[in-house]
Amino acid sequence: MKLVTTANDLRAALATVKPAVTKWATIPILQTVLFDGAKVAATDLDMTIETKVAASEARGRACISFRPLAALCRHLPADEVITIEAKGTTATIRFSSGIYNLPSLPADDFSTMAGPEAEAKPLDGEAFAKALRFVAPFIYGEDIRYYLRGVCLSADRDENFGLFATDGHRLAFHPLEYPADWQGMIVPHYAVAALLKMPPVKTAAMRGAKARFDCGSVTLTTKLIDGTFPDWRRVVPAIEPGAPAISLDVAETSAALRRIGMARKDRGVPLTIAADRRGVVAQMGGEYSEAQAVERLTRARCDADATAVTSFNPAYLRDILGVHRGAETVRLWPSHDGPMIVQQGEADAFAVLMPMRGGDDARATAALEEWAPEAAPLREAAE
C-alpha cells in the first residue's frame, strides 16, 4: 500500500472518519483506519464513515493505527508532503524531516458494514441539517431507555412529517419532507452527531435496521435503533385560537436564566414565571430555600388578562432557547400543571417543556404585583 498526500488533506480525511473510531476499543482493528486506494474508512461496527483523500498517488490497502497517525498530522505544516507505505505489520510515514513507523493490520480484517437494501432517495440536505440541529439537544442522555437515544422520523397530529426527539422532560419537533416509508425509523445519537459535522446530505436510504447517508464526498452507514418511540403527540397540548401567550426576548431571557443558574445550588428547585398584561417576572426559591432570585423580564409581553403562573426546570428552558439561536423572540403558551409549548413566530417547529413541581406561585405572583406599576412606564417607553 502506498499513499502520497499532504498533511492538510490527510488531516481533513481523518477528522471526517473520527466519529466512527472507538476510543476505548479492545479489538485492535477498531482502533485503525482503512486506506483503500484514495478511500479512507473507519468503523465501530455500529457505524461506518467513508471519505476520499486528495492524493497524487494512492494504491493498495492497509489498516493503520488511527490515533498516532492523526496526532502526527496535527503537528505537521499543512502543505507538508506525506508518504505512507504499509507492508506486513508496519506502516512507514515519511515527510521532509522525519520517518515514523506505526502499527498496521491486514485490510481483510476490516469489517465493512453493508448498507440497507433500499433505493437511495433525494433529501434536502440543508433542511435535514437544520432539523437535526433543532432536535438533537433533546435526545435522551442515558442508555436505560435506549429507544430515546436517537432522533425519530415521525409526524405530528396533522400528519406533517418531521424529526422528533425527547428525553422525557422536554421534546422537540421540526418539520422535514422525506419518503413515507421512512416513518418510525430512529437514527442513533452517534450518527446524528456525525451527520452534523458533515457536508449536506444529498441522498439517503433506509430500510429495516440500517440507513445510509450520502453527502457526496462522505458516506455514513449506520445501524438504526431497534425500538418504538412512545406516542409523543398525546403530551403536546393543543393551542386554542386566541389562547393567551407569553412573548420572551431570547437574549434577555437567556441572560436572566444564566444569572439564576449561578444562584441555583439545588437542582430540584424550579423556576416560576408569573405573567399577565402588566408584565412578566421569573422567580426561583421558596421560603426555606437557601437561595432566592427574582428577575423582571422588561422586554417580555403577555396578552393574558388573568395572571398565568407556571413552573419548570430553568436549565431546560435555557436549552430550548439555545435551539432558537438567532431568533429575537419566542412565544410560549403557559400551563399551570401541564406541558408548555415554546415556538418561534408562526414556524411549524416547536418544543414542549414539561412542568416541574415545587414552584412558589405566591412569591412569583407577589413579585409581579410589586413590579407591575414600575413595569408599565418601561413598556410604554420601549414601544
Decide: 318 and 261 in contact? Cβ < 8 Å: yes
Decide: 222 and 211 in contact? Cβ < 8 Å: yes
| Bridge partners for 362 per DSSP | none
CA distance 84 to 69: 10
Cβ contacts of 93 within 8 Å, gap of 6 or more: 69, 72, 82, 83, 84, 99, 100, 101, 102
For position 378, what pLDDT does the model report?
A: 47
Domains of the chain: 2-109 (3.10.150.10), 121-234 (3.10.150.10), 237-382 (3.10.150.10)
| Residues 120-158: tens digit of each pLDDT | 999 999 999 999 999 999 999 888 889 999 999 999 888
Q: How many CA atoms lie within 13 A of 126 on its CB side?
A: 0
Which band of pLDDT confidence, cut at 50, 70 and 90, is reported for residue 289?
low
Number of Cβ within 10 Å of residue 371's Cβ equals 18
Lookup: cell for 315: 436549565
Which band of pLDDT confidence, cut at 50, 70 and 90, is reported for residue 284?
confident
| Residues 310-364: tens digit of each pLDDT | 888 888 999 999 888 777 888 888 777 788 889 887 678 899 998 888 787 888 8
Q: How many CA atoms lie within 13 A of 56 on its CB side?
A: 8
Using DSSP, state whether 171 is helix, strand or coil: strand
